[in-house]
Structure 1
Amino acid sequence: MDNYFKGKNVEEELERSKIPLKDLPENFLLMQVKGGSKMANLLSHASGILEDKAATAVVWSGAGVAIPKAISCAEIIKRQFSIPHQVSKLTYKRIEEFWEPKIDGLETIVVKRQVPVIHILLSLDNNVDVQQLGYQSLEGKKFWQMGQSNSKNQQYKAKKPFKHKKSQEKTVTS
């Protein structure tokens, strides 16, 4: 590869209409998590929308290195708002890397990769199909309440939930 330099990357963009989750409500919040996204910003935005009741469902999407961050954000919001329904889907997106030759007479090399993508639907509505693959419910299963009384999980104390910047009131003293 000494005779080539990396050119452009072409990857398919995520569109709201192409999310592979069925029974999506019309008004849902799509949170696209990138590798460099700050969790505090993502969580404060999503919690603000849910607090204002502007949406009753959130879809967290992350690709490649952003998958763990998308899962963490979804779990934090799910616990903060006690969201009863979750559907998770794993898919792939196609990326093409173009390698341009440094020397005349060589052809451009195209490397085609598939990168994993996760989509996590969190819904407050009861219109989610509970029979679909990837469905999880909080109803009837309270993980933090199960187990022995001396368990460390029982002694867990949640931190303050993330607050949306609009909902924080500032007091001015003279």
Structure 2
Amino acid sequence: MDVNITQWLADARNGDPQALPRAFEALYAELRKLAQSRVQGGDATLSPTMLVHETYLRLCGSGEVALESRQHFFAAAAQAMRWIVVDHARHRLAQRHGGGLVRVELEAADAAELRPDQVIELDQALERLGRASPEKARLVELRYFAGLEFPELAALTGRSERSLKRDWASARAALHAMIG
């Protein structure tokens, strides 16, 4: 399956307008599962289907995204999901006229439980982390916003689970310090 995905992404870079949608369709079930874990129970106004479809529009809508591999595809999808969840949280806060920012506990399973103000605070901290350590910020996006587990991350990044867990702990500590 990875060979088809890689070939479709190469075809998309070479101008085939149907190649990226084919790759997205092949990965739709995985993306839907990830989206389900991101919005399940937390926010009834953003459904998993809506999140995946918005992700599709962000990745495929402009026609300018040059994805090179399955890893690159999931990194772009994780970033798109992050932007969508944050935009949605900002919109909800604007409707309620805000509130105080509070401490955010960073666990992958908790993503669906965050309030909009917590999502925005996490996004701001993640932006700061990205300036200091882009690799760790990317790891947080893939683990937290895309919901990938360490074995999946290891396969996707080509790094050992042990080093990913070490970076995850370091990224969590940095984010907690920024948020706290």
Q: Same fold (TM over 0.5)?
A: no
Greater Cα radius of gyration, structure 1 or 2: 1
User: Which has more helix, going by share of residues?
Assistant: 2
- Greater length-normalized contact order (CA 8 Å, ≥ 6 residues apart): 1
TM-score (norm 2): 0.23
